[in-house]
């Protein structure tokens, strides 16, 4: 057990507060309700103190002859103020420290810095993609002046610079805060950005022949306080104030980075990281961030289909479900296999388990996806919910270990029907010819593939941003997906599809809402006792102690 952190007394604008030792002055002020504007400071990066926006007045108690603080007539220590304003971003608080955040000098400093930052900055907010989420705009309103005293020509710098495949730079908008440089060096460990030239002519660039192509490059766009760094994918696609923001998680690997999905009129425009120090700090990888465009694809499966003679034809949900239920009943227990997915939510996996039980399926597994871990955020397990699939017994400690056996049984004719949930059977080793030989394929999916094309019953499902549900990341953290957009056409949540499939054999099962599914889970799983889907906080719930089931935490974030 570590000793409790020492609390220090700090006077902020005349009022005394207590903060733990080691608190930055700027953070202490913020916690005391005195927000200090800043550009270069970022709590997750080193502090160069270069923007000078966070200047404050600072003082310490004046020591008397006995070296104890000298007391004034009001019984409070007399403060000896440092004559020059001090930056608040790089200093920790000290016992008895006094801070002024709203004095005339502080206001003058902020006003001065705002003026300086704007004299060479283009004043064309209406055509700038950052407008609406620009700190220059915000602080200009709060701490700047309406007019400009600058009469001379602005400095010209490079515009529309492709720093890398995903980031576009406008050097004239850059305020040289160096956040992006520090991020690439300190977090992404790919020190490709830097300043060249000097004085007011300084500009940001990537090293010659070294593009900004790190898998973390888009985080520089997030932390850029102005419109200098923009996402090539997102820029000029949508005004940010039109975006509806939905808190969710990324499903591109087992890390489960917390995200905000930005949508308008049922279209996803961008995905940005949401701070969660237990999972992803303030960052996410570019791959995960941009891995949503497929949800906007015109190829999306939108209508249930059933096979009539040799062709798939559109159907109603009711007929499709009846067909699936009827066909499945034709097979003996050992003749049906189920291929689930570790991309499914816990709720879907729970119902999959129920389906397995109701149909007496012995051969079931998930499709593993392994890649290389990058020591930052990307996990070797590219499936987001392998722990969930294991927890509910869809697979075991060796995900995918039964797949080759299933393939053999299909080829020997022992297995004649397959329920494929969101996975393409040709990815587990079956060929299209194998699929054609099967008597029945009941498939869910969101995009066409070999399996959906050869399905007997095709049930269109929902993507990660189109549904609610929970997943368990590789560290055993239960996190919630929230619906940002509606699935296209008649596509449905998989949990509903699964519920209806089960009902085909068991009749009504009392599940009307996804909350009902979660309730069943919470009753069955001791670690989730007392939880409800809504009660999982925005930052998730740790189900198992760190280190038990979890892999090692990367030290770098």
According to DSSP, residue 260 is labeled E
3-class secondary structure, 139? helix
CB 501 within 8 A of CB 354: no
CA distance linking residue 524 with residue 522, whole number of Å? 5
In the list 67, 84, 293, 309, the residue contacting other proteins (rule: CB under 8 A) is 84
- Picking from 277, 210, 270, 284, the residue whose alpha carbon sits closest to that of residue 239 is 270
CB of 41 to other proteins, least distance (A): 12
- Comparing CB distances to other proteins, the nearer of 49 and 429 is 49
Sites for other proteins among residues 363-402 (CB under 8 A) = none
CA distance linking residue 292 with residue 286, whole number of Å? 11
3-class secondary structure, 480? strand
CB of 129 to other proteins, least distance (A): 23
Which x/- pattern over 273-292 shows residues binding other proteins (rule: CB under 8 A)?
Answer: --------------------
Q: Does 198 bind other proteins (CB under 8 A)?
A: yes
* 111-119, 261-269, 378-386, 483-491 -> range binding other proteins (CB under 8 A): 111-119
CA distance linking residue 210 with residue 192, whole number of Å? 6
CB of 424 to other proteins, least distance (A): 51
Q: Does 119 bind other proteins (CB under 8 A)?
A: yes
Which x/- pattern over 124-163 shows residues binding other proteins (rule: CB under 8 A)?
Answer: -----------------------xxxxxxx-x--------
- Comparing CB distances to other proteins, the nearer of 194 and 554 is 194
CB of 421 to other proteins, least distance (A): 55
- Comparing CB distances to other proteins, the nearer of 210 and 552 is 210
Q: Does 91 bind other proteins (CB under 8 A)?
A: yes
Sole residue written with tokens 């300086």: 116
Residue 510: half-sphere exposure toward Cβ, Cα within 13 Å:
4
CB of 145 to other proteins, least distance (A): 9
In the list 195, 236, 294, 512, the residue contacting other proteins (rule: CB under 8 A) is 195
Q: At 28, list the tokens.
A: 């202490």
3-class secondary structure, 62? coil
- Comparing CB distances to other proteins, the nearer of 198 and 529 is 198
* b/e 276-290 (16+ beta carbons within 10 angstroms → b): bebbbbbbbbbbbbb
According to DSSP, residue 327 is labeled H
Q: At 197, list the tokens.
A: 């030239």
CB of 226 to other proteins, least distance (A): 13
3-class secondary structure, 268? strand
* 108-116, 264-272, 362-370, 501-509 -> range binding other proteins (CB under 8 A): 108-116
In the list 55, 342, 440, 502, the residue contacting other proteins (rule: CB under 8 A) is 55
* b/e 54-66 (16+ beta carbons within 10 angstroms → b): bbbbbbbbeeeee
CB of 210 to other proteins, least distance (A): 17
Q: Does 201 bind other proteins (CB under 8 A)?
A: yes
CB 235 within 8 A of CB 159: no
CB of 53 to other proteins, least distance (A): 8
In order of 147, 253, 273, 284, 391, the CA distances from 280 in angstroms are 42, 12, 8, 7, 23
In the list 47, 248, 341, 383, the residue contacting other proteins (rule: CB under 8 A) is 47
CA distance linking residue 409 with residue 337, whole number of Å? 9
Max CA pair span of the chain: 101
User: Distance between alpha carbon 247 and the CA centroid of its chain, in Å?
Assistant: 8
In the list 29, 53, 58, 403, the residue contacting other proteins (rule: CB under 8 A) is 53
* 5-13, 200-208, 272-280, 342-350 -> range binding other proteins (CB under 8 A): 200-208
CB-based burial label for 81 (10 Å; 0-12, 13-18, 19+): middle
In the list 61, 85, 227, 488, the residue contacting other proteins (rule: CB under 8 A) is 85
CA distance linking residue 119 with residue 449, whole number of Å? 56
Helices (H), 195-283: 218-223
**Count of residues that interact with other proteins, criterion CB under 8 A:** 41
Q: Does 179 bind other proteins (CB under 8 A)?
A: no
- Comparing CB distances to other proteins, the nearer of 157 and 475 is 157
CB of 148 to other proteins, least distance (A): 6
In the list 96, 112, 122, 325, the residue contacting other proteins (rule: CB under 8 A) is 112
In the list 29, 175, 428, 465, the residue contacting other proteins (rule: CB under 8 A) is 175
CB of 92 to other proteins, least distance (A): 9
CA distance linking residue 377 with residue 554, whole number of Å? 8
- Comparing CB distances to other proteins, the nearer of 194 and 429 is 194
H-helix or E-strand spanning residue 247: strand 244-249
Q: Which residues bind other proteins (CB under 8 A)?
A: 47-53, 55, 83-85, 87, 90-91, 108-109, 112-113, 115-117, 119-120, 147-153, 155, 175-176, 194-195, 197-202
């Amino acid at each position: 057990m570590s000793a409790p952190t020492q609390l220090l007394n700090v006077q902020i604008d005349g009022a005394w507060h207590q903060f733990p030792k080691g608190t930055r002055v700027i953070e202490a002020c913020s916690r005391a309700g005195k927000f200090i504007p800043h550009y270069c400071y970022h709590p997750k990066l080193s502090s160069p103190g270069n923007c000078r926006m966070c200047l404050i007045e600072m003082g310490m108690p004046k020591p008397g002859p006995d070296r104890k603080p000298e007391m004034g007539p009001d019984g409070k220590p007399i403060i000896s103020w440092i004559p020059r304003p001090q930056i608040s971003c790089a200093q920790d608080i000290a016992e008895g420290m006094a801070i002024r955040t709203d004095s005339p000098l502080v206001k003058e400093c902020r006003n001065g810095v705002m003026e300086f930052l704007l004299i060479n900055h283009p004043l064309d907010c209406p055509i700038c993609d950052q407008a609406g989420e620009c700190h220059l705009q915000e602080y200009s309103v709060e701490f700047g002046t309406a007019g400009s005293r600058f009469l001379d020509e602005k400095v010209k710098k490079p515009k529309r610079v492709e720093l890398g495949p995903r980031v576009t730079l406008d050097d004239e908008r850059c305020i040289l805060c160096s956040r992006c440089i520090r991020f690439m060096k300190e977090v992404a460990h790919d020190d490709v950005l830097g300043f060249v030239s000097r004085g007011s002519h300084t500009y940001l660039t990537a090293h010659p022949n070294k593009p900004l192509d790190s898998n973390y490059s888009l985080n520089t766009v997030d932390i850029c306080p102005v419109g200098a760094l923009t996402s090539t994918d997102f820029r000029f696609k949508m005004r940010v104030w039109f975006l509806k923001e939905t808190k969710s998680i990324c499903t591109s690997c087992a890390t489960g980075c917390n995200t905000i999905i930005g949508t308008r009129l049922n279209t996803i425009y961008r995905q940005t990281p949401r701070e969660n120090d237990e999972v992803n700090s303030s960052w996410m990888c570019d791959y995960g961030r941009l891995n949503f465009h497929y949800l906007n694809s015109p190829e999306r499966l939108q209508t249930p289909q059933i096979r009539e003679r040799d062709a798939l034809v559109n159907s109603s949900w009711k007929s499709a479900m009846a067909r699936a239920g009827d066909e499945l009943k034709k097979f003996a227990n050992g003749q049906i296999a189920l291929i689930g997915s570790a991309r499914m939510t816990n709720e879907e996996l729970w119902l999959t388990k129920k389906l397995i039980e109701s149909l007496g399926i012995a051969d079931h597994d998930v499709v593993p996806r392994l890649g290389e871990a990058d020591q930052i955020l990307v996990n070797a397990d590219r499936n987001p919910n392998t722990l969930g699939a294991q927890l509910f017994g869809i697979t075991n400690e060796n995900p995918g270990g039964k797949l080759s056996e299933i393939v053999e049984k299909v080829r020997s004719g022992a297995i004649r029907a397959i329920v494929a949930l969101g996975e393409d059977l040709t990815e587990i080793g079956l060929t299209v010819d194998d699929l054609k030989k099967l008597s029945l394929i009941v498939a869910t999916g969101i995009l066409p593939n070999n399996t959906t094309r050869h399905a007997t019953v095709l049930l269109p499902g929902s993507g990660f941003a189109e549904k609610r549900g929970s997943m368990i990341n590789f560290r055993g953290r239960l996190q919630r997906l929230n619906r940002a957009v509606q699935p296209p056409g008649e596509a449905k949540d998989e949990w509903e599809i699964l519920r209806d499939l089960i009902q085909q054999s068991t009749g009504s099962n009392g599940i009307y809402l996804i909350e009902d599914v979660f309730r069943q889970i919470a009753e069955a799983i001791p670690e989730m006792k007392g939880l409800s889907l809504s009660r999982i906080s925005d930052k998730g719930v740790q189900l198992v102690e760190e280190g038990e089931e979890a892999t090692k935490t990367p030290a770098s974030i």
